């Protein structure tokens, strides 16, 4: 191993090596006028109307390359999606890297290129960043924090508090793909499947949905903790009961098989390119139609409705055993899934 | 060790344990209406005029408690200072935690309380966050990313490109305190000194400076890489030569002694509560007077001037050997210093 091909502590020291990493790796990939000022903070023109959305996420996924993506694209999609489900048009990202000494610079370049491509596809700019290097064994390969700013157009108000009885619950596609795709690549758990992560940006989908119905009550992307965690949190914040129907939830045959073998329930498994939306009942069909026109919404389905069970509770109608109360998973089925 | 007293993988799983950590640790400390919505992104009213400043930093300091601060207060001061030297009034922070499995919840509470107190002192709110837990050995204790939004008032324009020949270089106080304070607490390097980190927020100081002279050309807080890295970067971006005088740079006796023993040069050592400013020559005395009225600016000094050496270069007049060319440090003297 040549020293120059790997990250050293000096790359995080703020001196000459840090400057070279910036010049050779980050600037060429992320190039934009704001980042190129090399100042301590990026200066941004605020929107004339509406609100700012502000969201953060750190990505610690293992392995860093997985079927359907890598930690770079995931770190862009994850924060873009958090902004999108807040009703915002994602605009600017920061990127904070923690790199383990000895990490390959070629792999770092691959990941940074993947971030840059993802950012371009989402229409966002990576305008400010930070890199820390820690000694070997003090971190596992690479962690990436992305924090984003989006602009929420005037009149858009996405909040669980808006939900009323009778609202329709729509899921944008199959669940469990990301979690099972990553799991089947974990050391010691390798599985021969064709499952691919659903990691993808949702901002175009959200835009189409809000065009069809500006009064969408609430949206969330069910990542860690899966669909169950998102629905339970929404039920708790809104103080409403939510009833969903198991038969209506899209799960691919491959994901279902892997989950059965490993004793997982797909509703607890992480997704990285799905959203669940609560929409007024009289516009549900319109929203669904708009979603199906966007690639990542083709398999969108109505999966349930608000009301019909006690306040704050999520119930699932099953094919065999009647209604089952859904609770967020207690432990952590899959550490380092995102 | 009782399991309930320590962070488990479940605390990062997005399910019930994650919710409890939020409810018991983060919400009570950071409480504010934006965070309490528990949504994926915080919604913020943009400023009517001026610009947004946006800055990020990840803190990986070792040890996490050190004389004069801890990773919590440092993570707030660090990003607040990056915003302040951009000319912004710091407003909102995000907080992203990566925690090693087994970390003490009591220590986490202490760090979170320290962040909350620091945020209060700086007048900023921690409005959105994220927590990831990685298996034991995949990270060292705790890393914190903070990303901040500040509002830059109309008419303020801090940029190295504004610097002209004859501008005066002012340093806000002694250098080297943070780096040496942390170093003397490192395992295997323990030193018996009274050196305390200078970790402190600079936003009130910057406010007083901009009131005295709204046309300050450029400011930077010399953290990693020390004063030398900041000056060299500013010389390179501005294309100006900078001459400073060694005898005018304040260094405490204790810091000087430790640096001599360890073979360090204080101008390369990290600071966490200092800034270097480039001001028009005719207002330098006014700015200096305003700085000295603020606690963290009491020892502010004029240390040099723009011009008098080749473009893009930093030179230091020394007492004995004439002028010395200053270059950013090549290696990393002190890994995990911030």
Q: For residue range A270-290, what is the model confidence (pLDDT) as tens digits? A: 999 999 999 999 999 999 999
Q: Do strands B301-306 and A168-171 pair parallel, antiparallel, or not at all (unpaired)? A: unpaired
- Using the 3D structure, point to which of B121, B152, B183 is the last residue of a domain: B152
Report which of A272, A261, A227, A337 is spatially closest to residue A68, judged by C-alpha positions.
A272
Q: What's the CA gap between B318 and B296, in Å, rounded?
A: 26
Residue numbers of B between 309 and 328 with CB closer than 8 Å to A: 327-328
At B89, is the pLDDT very low, low, confident or very high (cuts 50, 70, 90)? very high
- Using the 3D structure, point to which of A106, A128, A152 is the last residue of a domain: A152
Q: Are residues A169 and A100 in the same domain?
A: no
Q: Say which residues have a Cβ less than 8 Å from residue A87's Cβ, sequence separation at least 6.
A: A53, A152, A153, A156, A157, A158, A206, A210, A216, A219
Residue A281's domain is classified under what CATH number? 3.90.650.10
Question: Looking at the partner chain, which of B137, B159, B332 has a beta carbon nearest the beta carbon of A13?
Answer: B332
Residue located via tokens 């990941």? A111
Let me know if residue B336 belongs to a domain: no
Let me know if residue A3 belongs to a domain: no
Average pLDDT over residues B244-249: 97
pLDDT at B49 over 90: yes
Average pLDDT over residues B112-136: 97
pLDDT at B167 over 70: yes
Q: What's the CA gap between A281 and B125, in Å, rounded?
A: 37
Let me know if residue A2 belongs to a domain: no
At B26, is the pLDDT very low, low, confident or very high (cuts 50, 70, 90)? very high
Q: Express each pLDDT in A210-229 by its tens digit.
A: 999 999 999 999 999 999 99
Let me know if residue B65 belongs to a domain: yes
* Element holding A286 (H helix, E strand): helix A284-292
Let me know if residue A201 belongs to a domain: yes
Compute the count of residue pairs across chains A and B with CB atoms less than 8 Å apart. Answer: 295
Residue located via tokens 């596809």? A121
At A36, is the pLDDT very low, low, confident or very high (cuts 50, 70, 90)? confident
Q: What's the CA gap between B45 and A43, in Å, rounded?
A: 17
CA angle B309, B312, B317 (to 5 degrees): 40
The answer to whether B248 and B237 are in contact (CB under 8 A) is no
The pLDDT assigned to B333 comes to 63
The pTM (predicted TM-score) of the whole model is 0.96
Residue located via tokens 């990003």? B79
- Using the 3D structure, point to which of B105, B130, B152 is the last residue of a domain: B152
Q: Are residues B197 and B286 in the same domain?
A: yes
At A121, is the pLDDT very low, low, confident or very high (cuts 50, 70, 90)? very high
At A86, is the pLDDT very low, low, confident or very high (cuts 50, 70, 90)? very high
Select the residue from B56, B81, B217 to test the A interface by mutation, using most A Cβ atoms within 10 A. B56
Q: What's the CA gap between B51 and B41, in Å, rounded?
A: 21
Q: Are residues A22 and A102 in the same domain?
A: yes
Q: Are residues B138 and B64 in the same domain?
A: yes
Let me know if residue A4 belongs to a domain: no
At B184, is the pLDDT very low, low, confident or very high (cuts 50, 70, 90)? confident
Report which of A243, A240, A202, A244 is spatially closest to residue A221, judged by C-alpha positions.
A202
Q: Are residues A173 and A259 in the same domain?
A: yes
DSSP A269: S
**Cβ neighbourhood burial of A327 (10 Å; 0-12, 13-18, 19+):** middle
Q: Are residues A178 and A274 in the same domain?
A: yes
At A2, is the pLDDT very low, low, confident or very high (cuts 50, 70, 90)? low
pLDDT at B334 over 80: no
Q: Are residues A129 and A29 in the same domain?
A: yes
Poorest-pLDDT segment among A9-13, A134-138, B77-81: A9-13
Q: What's the CA gap between B99 and B140, in Å, rounded?
A: 8
Q: Which two tokens stand for residue B321?
A: 């050997």
B-chain CB neighbours of A63 within 8 Å are none
Q: Are residues A132 and A37 in the same domain?
A: yes
Q: Express each pLDDT in A70-85 by its tens digit.
A: 999 999 999 999 999 9
pLDDT at A110 over 50: yes
Residue B71's domain is classified under what CATH number? 3.30.1330.10
Q: Are residues A98 and A181 in the same domain?
A: no
Q: Are residues A237 and A125 in the same domain?
A: no
Poorest-pLDDT segment among A70-74, A218-222, B31-35, B323-327: B31-35
At B115, is the pLDDT very low, low, confident or very high (cuts 50, 70, 90)? very high
Q: What's the CA gap between A179 and B149, in Å, rounded?
A: 33
Q: How many CA atoms lie within 13 A of B88 on its CB side?
A: 29
The pLDDT assigned to A336 comes to 92
Let me know if residue B331 belongs to a domain: no
Question: Are A43 and B51 inside 8 Å of each other by CB?
Answer: yes
- Nearest residue on chain A to B62, judged by CA atoms? A134
DSSP A199: -
* Element holding A175 (H helix, E strand): none
The pLDDT assigned to A1 comes to 45
Question: Looking at the partner chain, which of A41, A47, A335 has a beta carbon nearest the beta carbon of B88?
Answer: A41
Question: Are B39 and A328 inside 8 Å of each other by CB?
Answer: no
Q: Express each pLDDT in A147-183 by its tens digit.
A: 999 999 999 999 999 999 999 999 999 999 999 999 8
The pLDDT assigned to A319 comes to 81
Q: Does B100 touch chain A (CB under 8 A)?
A: no
Poorest-pLDDT segment among A103-112, B73-82, B280-289, B326-335: B326-335
Q: What's the CA gap between A86 and B43, in Å, rounded?
A: 8
Report which of B208, B182, B202 is spatially closest to residue B269, judged by C-alpha positions.
B182
Count up the domains in chain A and report the number. 2
How high is the mean pLDDT of chain A? Answer: 94
Q: Are residues A143 and A190 in the same domain?
A: no
Select the residue from B4, B8, B10, B13 to test the A interface by mutation, using most A Cβ atoms within 10 A. B13
The pLDDT assigned to A333 comes to 63
Let me know if residue A46 belongs to a domain: yes
Q: What is the span of the domain harbouring residue A181?
A: 160-326
A-chain CB neighbours of B268 within 8 Å are 15
What ipTM was reported for this prediction?
Answer: 0.96
Question: Looking at the partner chain, which of B43, B221, B334 has a beta carbon nearest the beta carbon of A86?
Answer: B43
Q: Are residues A261 and A230 in the same domain?
A: yes
At B281, is the pLDDT very low, low, confident or very high (cuts 50, 70, 90)? very high
């Amino acid at each position: 191993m040549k020293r120059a091909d790997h990250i050293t502590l000096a790359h995080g020291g703020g001196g000459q090596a840090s400057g070279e990493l910036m010049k050779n790796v980050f600037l060429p990939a992320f190039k934009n006028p704001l980042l190129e000022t090399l100042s301590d903070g990026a200066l941004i023109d605020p929107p004339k109307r509406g609100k700012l959305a502000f969201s953060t996420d750190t990505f610690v996924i293992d392995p860093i390359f997985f079927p359907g993506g890598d930690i770079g694209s995931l770190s862009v999609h994850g924060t873009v999606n958090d902004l999108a489900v807040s009703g915002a048009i994602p605009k600017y990202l920061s990127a904070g890297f923690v790199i383990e000494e000895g990490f390959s610079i070629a792999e770092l370049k691959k990941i940074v290129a993947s971030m840059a491509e993802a950012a371009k596809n989402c229409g966002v700019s990576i305008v400010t960043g930070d890199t820390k290097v820690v000694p070997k064994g003090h971190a596992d390969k690479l962690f990436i924090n992305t924090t984003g700013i989006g602009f929420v157009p005037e009149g858009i108000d996405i909040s669980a508090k808006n939900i009323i009885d009778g609202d329709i619950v729509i899921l944008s596609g199959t669940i469990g793909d990301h979690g099972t795709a990553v799991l089947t690549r974990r050391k010691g758990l390798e599985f021969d499947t064709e499952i691919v992560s659903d990691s993808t940006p949702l901002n175009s989908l959200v835009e189409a949905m809000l065009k069809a119905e500006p009064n969408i009550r609430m949206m969330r992307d069910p990542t860690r903790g899966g669909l169950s965690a998102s629905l339970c949190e929404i039920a708790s914040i809104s103080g409403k009961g939510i009833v969903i129907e198991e038969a209506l939830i899209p799960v691919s045959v491959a994901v279902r098989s892997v989950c059965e073998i490993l004793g997982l329930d797909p509703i607890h498994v992480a997704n990285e390119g799905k959203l669940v939306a609560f929409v007024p009942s009289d516009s549900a069909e319109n929203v669904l139609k708009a979603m199906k026109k966007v690639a990542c919404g083709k398999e969108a389905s109505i999966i349930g409705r608000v009301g019909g069970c006690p306040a704050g509770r999520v119930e699932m109608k099953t094919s065999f055993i009647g209604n089952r109360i859904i609770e967020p998973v207690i432990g952590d089925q899959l550490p380092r899934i995102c």
